[in-house]
């Protein structure tokens, strides 16, 4: 493996020959120039790892050359060659951060020793910079672990990538519809149609090679005119691969005035790209599973509404009221999600009840009541085989238990009833009392409120009932949910359910999506 590349500059031909021969023999790559102008030309063709330059040249000084080169490569180490040394010159060199001096005449051994010491210090500095650059990985991993939709995840990735790479802009594109690469998110920089087209083209080239592409901001790259018009000096583009298969590409850009991306940057960005690719793939798989699960929930709700026309909208209103109670109790996150979904599905067991019982206009017989009492158990049996819905089973199974132990199906009492089921019991009872049924008209708001008050500490968890009453007092009859809207249109004449989703999301911005059990 070749050692570092050294740019050697001196206007004395014999010194250039000596240094070039000595450093090449030591394994270094050497580019030589005999003037300030020639050095800029040599440096422009390929980046160097060390500058070894004479202090005085006909068309400039070594320190001026160092300043010029460091405009693009701030960490470029340098060794100054001089025929004489003064305190002022040494101070100026130290201010510029030079790594060493060579006083003419010098030996080959002195040259090699000074070069090796300078490069060793430079390597140590670069390693520190590299380790520091790894810190953004922690931030990126935190971002990837947050429960987000795929679109939110992509937006967050682009923001973190831009910040961690010290970039002026960042963008991410994914493969869609076969091999079509679509720009999904961008952050920072000037946005133009030509710019988007250029970055998409760079992304395609990256995926074709399945390797990172580095556009250094100089040379003859075909994209430079567009990039320069956007104020971009260099670009690093990396493929997103999962199991060796491309799923997209990400690109980061630095402004003309900033340091160009280098090989060390690509190493760090490649680590980030690997983690990003896996996270995006997992998020996509999760969303596919989530959509399937959501369609299952919708189908189950439709089945309930189709079976029991008179309770149309009951499940949704129970779910909303249960969520309101849970939040007022100070509960958050996954618990609220579970309560919400259990509210939507709490009566799923009624699918097994004959319509002669569900729609009977008069009182039920003892045998008919016995059938109705089975619906919590039947609901639990329906949900149990569906793994994502397992967590809802205790709430659905026990939403008819009573605080005093007189409920069904298991006669549980007080805290032995899961908290979510106690919340559903109050929400279910209140909405049922204020809804029409085949065998009776809806109770008034005040009458239903009085029934909840009377059942507090007997039928219902006293704290849950207290919170419901508090909500009812604050919102009045609006708590009945008549203005919350309905999830499905139903043809009353045929009782056929038109599968027409009117509104998927809840009006409360804080409510969490159906199926979000993460």
The label of the residue with tokens 């009833």 reads: 417
d(CA 423, CA 258): 59
At 288 the pLDDT is 66
Lowest mean pLDDT among 304-313, 390-399, 483-492: 483-492
**pLDDT tens digits for range 9-67:** 888 888 888 888 998 888 888 888 888 888 888 776 567 888 888 888 888 888 888 88
d(CA 407, CA 399): 9
Q: Mean pLDDT across the stretch 98-113?
A: 84
Q: Which residue has the higher pLDDT, 306 or 103?
A: 103
Q: How confident is the model at residue 466 (pLDDT cuts 50, 70, 90)?
A: very high
Q: Mean pLDDT across the stretch 161-188?
A: 83
Report the CATH architecture of 138-284: 2-Layer Sandwich (3.30)
Cβ neighbours, 10 Å, residue 402: 20
Whether omega for the bond prior to residue 237 falls within 30 degrees of 0, making it cis, is no
Averaged pLDDT score across all residues of the chain: 76
Give yes or no for a contact between 189 and 165, defined as CB atoms under 8 angstroms apart: no
Closest residue by Cα to residue 54 from 76, 74, 67, 36: 36
| Tokens found for residue 183 | 């720009």
Task: Flag whether pLDDT at 508 surpasses 60.
Answer: no
**pLDDT above 70: percentage of residues in the chain:** 75
Residues 6+ apart with CB under 8 A from 338: 391, 392, 395, 420, 517
**pLDDT above 90: percentage of residues in the chain:** 4
Task: Flag whether pLDDT at 472 surpasses 60.
Answer: yes
Give yes or no for a contact between 437 and 457, defined as CB atoms under 8 angstroms apart: no
| Tokens found for residue 348 | 């799923």
Q: How confident is the model at residue 492 (pLDDT cuts 50, 70, 90)?
A: very low
DSSP state for residue 220 in the 8-state scheme: S
At 121 the pLDDT is 80
**pLDDT tens digits for range 254-267:** 888 787 887 777 77
| Tokens found for residue 160 | 């973190």
d(CA 323, CA 346): 14
At 500 the pLDDT is 28
Residues 6+ apart with CB under 8 A from 208: none
d(CA 295, CA 272): 34
DSSP 3-state assignment of 470?
helix
Beta-strand pair 60-61/78-82: unpaired
**113 membership: H or E segment, kind and range:** helix 108-133
CATH fold for the domain made of 5-133: Rossmann fold (3.40.50)
**6 membership: H or E segment, kind and range:** strand 5-9
DSSP state for residue 62 in the 8-state scheme: H
Lowest mean pLDDT among 134-148, 300-314, 412-426: 134-148
Q: Which residue has the higher pLDDT, 511 or 427?
A: 427
In the beta sheet, which residues pair with residue 490? 497
Q: How confident is the model at residue 503 (pLDDT cuts 50, 70, 90)?
A: very low
Question: What b/e sequence results for 192-211 when a residue is b if at least 16 CB atoms lie within 10 Å of its CB, and e otherwise?
Answer: eeebeebbbebbbbbbeeee
Cβ neighbours, 10 Å, residue 410: 15
At 266 the pLDDT is 78
Name the CATH code of domain 308-498 (choices 3.40.190.10, 3.40.50.300, 1.10.3210.10, 1.10.3720.10): 1.10.3210.10
At 305 the pLDDT is 65
Task: Flag whether pLDDT at 225 surpasses 50.
Answer: yes
Q: Mean pLDDT across the stretch 172-198?
A: 83
Q: How confident is the model at residue 482 (pLDDT cuts 50, 70, 90)?
A: very low
| Tokens found for residue 315 | 């499940």
In terms of Cβ atoms closer than 10 Å to its own Cβ (0-12, 13-18, 19+), residue 109 is exposed
Give yes or no for a contact between 314 and 344, defined as CB atoms under 8 angstroms apart: no
d(CA 49, CA 116): 12
At 517 the pLDDT is 24
d(CA 290, CA 282): 12
Domains of the chain, residue spans: 5-133, 138-284, 308-498
**pLDDT tens digits for range 414-427:** 989 999 999 999 99
Q: Mean pLDDT across the stretch 279-294?
A: 66
């Amino acid at each position: 493996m070749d050692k570092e590349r050294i740019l050697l500059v001196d206007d004395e031909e014999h010194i250039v020959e000596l240094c070039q021969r000595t450093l090449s023999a030591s394994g270094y790559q050497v580019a030589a120039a005999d003037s300030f102008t020639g050095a800029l030309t040599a440096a422009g063709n390929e980046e160097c790892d060390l500058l070894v330059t004479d202090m005085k040249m006909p068309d400039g000084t070594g320190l001026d050359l160092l300043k010029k080169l460091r405009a693009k490569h701030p960490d470029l180490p340098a060794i100054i060659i001089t025929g004489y040394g003064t305190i002022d010159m040494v101070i100026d060199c130290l201010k510029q951060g030079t790594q060493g001096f060579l006083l003419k005449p010098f030996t080959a051994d002195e040259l090699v020793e000074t070069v090796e010491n300078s490069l060793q210090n430079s390597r140590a500095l670069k390693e520190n910079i590299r380790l520091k650059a790894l810190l953004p990985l922690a931030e990126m991993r935190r971002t990837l672990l947050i429960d987000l939709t795929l679109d939110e995840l992509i937006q967050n990735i682009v923001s973190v990538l831009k910040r961690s790479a010290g970039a002026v802009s960042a963008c991410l594109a994914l493969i869609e519809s076969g091999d079509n690469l679509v720009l999904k998110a961008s952050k920072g920089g000037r946005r133009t149609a030509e710019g988007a087209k250029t970055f998409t083209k760079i992304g395609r080239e990256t995926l074709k090679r399945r390797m990172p592409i580095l556009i250094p901001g100089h040379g003859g790259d075909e994209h430079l005119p567009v990039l320069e018009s956007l104020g971009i000096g260099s670009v690093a583009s990396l493929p997103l691969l999962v199991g060796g298969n491309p799923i997209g590409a990400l690109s980061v850009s630095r402004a003309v005035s900033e340091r160009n991306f280098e090989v060390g940057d690509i190493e760090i960005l490649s680590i980030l790209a690997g983690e990003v690719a896996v996270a995006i793939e997992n998020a996509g798989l999760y969303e596919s599973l989530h959509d399937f699960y959501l369609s299952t929930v919708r189908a189950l709700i439709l089945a309930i509404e189709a079976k029991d026309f008179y309770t149309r909208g009951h499940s949704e209103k129970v779910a909303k009221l249960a969520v309101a109670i849970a939040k007022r109790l100070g509960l958050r996150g996954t618990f609220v999600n579970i309560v919400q979904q259990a509210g939507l599905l709490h009566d799923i067991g009624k699918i097994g009840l004959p319509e002669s019982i569900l729609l009977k206009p008069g009182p039920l017989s003892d045998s008919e009541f016995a059938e109705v009492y089975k619906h919590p158990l039947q609901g639990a049996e329906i949900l149990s085989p569906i793994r994502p819905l397992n967590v809802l089973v205790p709430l659905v199974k026990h939403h008819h238990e009573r605080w005093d132990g007189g409920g069904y199906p298991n006669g549980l009492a007080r805290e032995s009833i899961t908290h979510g089921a106690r919340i559903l019991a109050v929400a279910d009872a209140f909405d049922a009392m204020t809804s029409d049924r085949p065998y009776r008209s809806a109770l008034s708001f005040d009458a239903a409120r009085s029934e909840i008050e009377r059942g507090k500490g007997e039928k219902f968890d006293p704290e849950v009932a207290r919170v419901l009453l508090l909500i009812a007092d604050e919102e009045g009859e609006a708590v009945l949910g008549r203005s919350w809207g309905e999830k499905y249109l139903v043809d009353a004449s045929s009782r056929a359910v038109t599968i027409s989703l009117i509104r998927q999301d809840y009006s409360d911005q804080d409510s969490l999506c159906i199926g979000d059990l993460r």
